[in-house]
Chain A
Amino acid sequence: MKQHLTVVVVEQNQDRAFAIVDALKESGDVEVFVIGNVSGLARKIATHGPDIVLIDIDNPSRDMLEELTVASGPLERPVAMFVSGAAGGLAKAAVEAGVSAYVVDGLQAERIKPVIDTAIARFQVLRQMRTELAETRRALEERKVIDRAKGLLMKAKGVSEDEAYALLRKTAMNQNRRVADVAEALVTASGLLS
């Protein structure tokens, strides 16, 4: 039995991949390979003969890995998303963190646990960063729409910017909707009418 664990990380984004690799290497005696290009993914993974495969749960190419869970897969050793026995609780935590791990069947839970724990923690941080980025983008988008709606109101009703915003807010409150949603409805409607 070899001493170190071989881990394959499927990740197209280089920065994310480096962050994951660094964290995994600190967690113990592991050899890590990164696969960035997903064409022919199952075969590429098989050439490394990994003990564990890690992939972002939002990666659409994840289904390619499911082939590995079929016993006659290219690894010739059954691989499963680790759900059995001692690692059962880990699976749920991993799914929540946004990573899925495929582990060669029969590996002992205590050997894989440090690696999986590290991966979970790292993916959690990355997921949080991504969520924050998406939130920021959305907020920016919404501000643009609100500004356009304000402009439309100012032009149509001859009111000031503050009054236009107050009107948007009042309508939103009355209709139990978000200001951004009311603004968007107004912008869409005015687009249709113009």
Chain B
Amino acid sequence: MRTVTLPVAYMPLVDAAPLIVAREMGFDHAEGISLDMRPAPSWSSLRDMLAFGHVDAAHLLSPVPVAMALGLGGIATPLSAVSVLSLNGNVIGVGTRLAGRLTDQGYGFDFSDAAAAGSALAKATGDVLVFGVPFPFSMHVELLRYWVAGTELASKQVEIRTVPPPLMAQALAGGEIDAFCVGEPWGSYAADDNVGALLLPGKAIWTCAPEKVLAVRNDWAETEPHLLGSLMRAVWKAGRWLSKADSRTTTSEMLSRKAYLNVSPELIDRALMGEFTISASGEQRQVDGFVEFFDGAASFPWRSQAKWIAHQLAKRNGIDVSTAERQAARVFRSDLYRRELVGLGVETPGASEKLEGALPESTAVASVNGSLILPPNVFFDRRIFEPAG
């Protein structure tokens, strides 16, 4: 069958799985396209590859297209987030010095209670606490800021610096940072490398944080609607395949290949199974649904998610919050999601916005054809996000 080649950029991370699976399992060919997977050396290069037309779609940090719409950062090409590739999937870890002090003060590293972890870390650290994150516009930064502001860490001087994940272990060992927030497999990598211990999964701060999105240029989405539809369907099917428990081992093997992540499948398994080894001494912790690709309409780009991101960015950068939320809502394209996936019989929610943080339990909500179960959606401080209007 003849297929149209579609260049797609990604960062070699566990959460690039929906795109890698779409390619490796042939979901792309079934839709008449052939994904040409291009690994990027950095998030800024990945963004430029997409903005300047070297690729047509990308695996992107969810705050990046929002920040671009608000005029933050260098580049202003209008981008659309046409689906959410993954919810959650980050880990917060501390260097060995802090880990030692936490252990000495009797902290149990439960790997789940964010408030308790914040209090314990505030006692263990000096006045200044430096975190490393992969990019200035990232869910990593937003989750850290939200967590710090809502715990005893708020009394400390917290700095956030950008460190490429492969250099995170080195930066910890060199004392340049005290702690980090990164996507898998880099957290597990640091723990295995004996430069740090894992403190919390990102999920402990917000159970439903949109982590990566499938991003395209607005002009491309308008001129190539058929290719866009094929891409979205292939990625959606890859997500469905990924949601089956018996796909995980195959996925770990696939991602571990040299052409993709080039790390051992065992390391990738931890994120996919939610079975973590939090320190080099081998302590295990279980996190159900550590990263989610599919269940509970995980891939639906809720406009309220974009508003939450814009709200945080606007407040920190002195931009009018309600204008920012309005601009951001247009970036998460629930309209395109409905339009392109309706033919597959995908259950899409009736609404395009939800109250972020307002679902303590799994809840059935109205969908276009009946009902849909949404997973718990809470912040660690139980606050409910209210858009500015």
Contacts and interface: CB of A to CB of B under 8 A. Distances in A.
Interface of A: 38-40, 42, 57-67, 69-71, 79-81, 83, 91-92, 95-96, 100, 102
B44 interface: yes
A62 B41 contact: yes
Interface stretch (B22-30, B157-165, B204-212, B346-354): B157-165
Contact of A39 (B76, B174, B317): B174
Interface string B130-151: 0000111100000000000000
A91 B52 contact: yes
B174 A70 contact: no
Contact of B54 (A61, A70, A81, A95): A95
B111 interface: no
22 contacts: A39-B174, A40-B176, A57-B41, A59-B41, A60-B167, A61-B167, A63-B43, A63-B135, A63-B162, A66-B43, A66-B44, A66-B73, A66-B162, A67-B162, A69-B136, A79-B74, A83-B76, A92-B52, A95-B48, A95-B49, A95-B54, A102-B74
B41 A80 contact: no
Contacts of A60: 41-42, 164, 166-167
Contact of B42 (A61, A70, A91, A95): A61
A67 B162 CA distance: 7
Given A58-B41, A83-B76, A63 B164 contact: yes
A100 B48 contact: yes
B341 interface: no
Contacts of B72: 70
Given A70-B73, A81-B75, A92-B52, A64 B164 contact: yes
B135 A66 contact: yes
Contacts of B329: none
Interface in B30-84: 41-45, 48-49, 52, 54, 72-76
A92 B75 CA distance: 12
Interface of B: 41-45, 48-49, 52, 54, 72-76, 134-137, 161-164, 166-167, 170-171, 174, 176, 317
B45 A69 contact: no
B149 to A, nearest CB: 17
Contacts of A83: 74-76
Given A59-B42, A63-B135, A65-B44, A81 B52 contact: no
A70 B136 contact: yes
A61 B164 contact: yes
Nearest to B76: A83
B11 to A, nearest CB: 10
Contacts of A62: 41-42, 44-45
A69 B164 contact: no
B314 to A, nearest CB: 13
B42 A63 contact: yes
Nearest to B46: A63
B357 to A, nearest CB: 27
B31 to A, nearest CB: 22
A142 B109 CA distance: 50
Contacts of B161: 42, 64, 67
A20 B165 CA distance: 28
A58 to B, nearest CB: 5
Nearest to A61: B164
Contact of A71 (B75, B135, B317): B317
A69 B74 contact: yes
Given A57-B45, A69-B74, A100-B44, A63 B134 contact: yes
Nearest to A65: B44
B318 to A, nearest CB: 9
A96 B51 CA distance: 12
Contacts of A39: 167, 170-171, 174, 176
A86 to B, nearest CB: 15
A42 B166 contact: no
Most-contacted residue by chain A among B41, B54, B134 (CB, 10 A): B41
Given A63-B134, A64-B164, A95-B54, A58 B73 contact: no
